[in-house]
Amino acid sequence: LPVDLPFAETFSKYPSRYLSVQTGENIEAKYINSSIGTLPAGSNLLVLACRDTVAGFDRKDYFNETKNSTNMGRIRMCELDLAGIPPTERVLLHISGALGAQSPNDLSTARMRVFAGADGKQPIANQLGEWENRPTLYDQEWVYELPNRIKHQIVIEFSGHGQNDLLAIGRFAVERP
């Protein structure tokens, strides 16, 4: 992806040219013709939805690949080249969406986290200092500061415990504050 900022993907055309999706057996990836908040007309949602509970799911470590891989999904961005951004400038990854739980009475059944760096394996905390996001009863804005002067692989990981746990993304943006 070129360094022209701001960049925003609102899924008006799908599948996305910039994001690829990998899912476990119990995760369905789909686009929903609906938008949230103040997104432009014609926007859609990219959704990773959990279809079932898996026996032996590790609720202490939602991202346990050995026990939970069937209920996990990844959204991977094409390479993001920030090598030419001056060291004095900040660059933000801004994700608009929702993390939903199977029951509004138990908001602990899904997780989302973000990785960056040259290999896409460095976990990054959002601007609230959280490494893992949890469901709420409302739409959310997740913001992450990206180190500049390097090329990044951005990876969003989702894990859901059971049916109807989901991650819905309406806007995926890279911008300067």
Amino acid type, 76: R
Q: Residue 68, SS3? A: helix
Instruction: Tell me the whole-structure pTM to 2 decimals.
Output: 0.94
82, HSE (Cβ side, Cα atoms, 13 Å) = 27
Per-residue pLDDT of 69-113, as tens digits, reads 999 999 999 999 999 898 899 999 999 999 999 999 999 999 999
Distance from C-alpha of 26 to C-alpha of 69, rounded to nearest angstrom: 9
The predicted pLDDT at position 3 comes to: 60
The predicted pLDDT at position 1 comes to: 45
> Who contacts 67 (Cβ-Cβ below 8 Å, separation ≥6)?
54, 56, 57, 58
Average pLDDT over residues 161-167: 96
Per-residue pLDDT of 105-152, as tens digits, reads 999 999 999 999 999 999 999 999 999 999 999 999 999 999 989 999
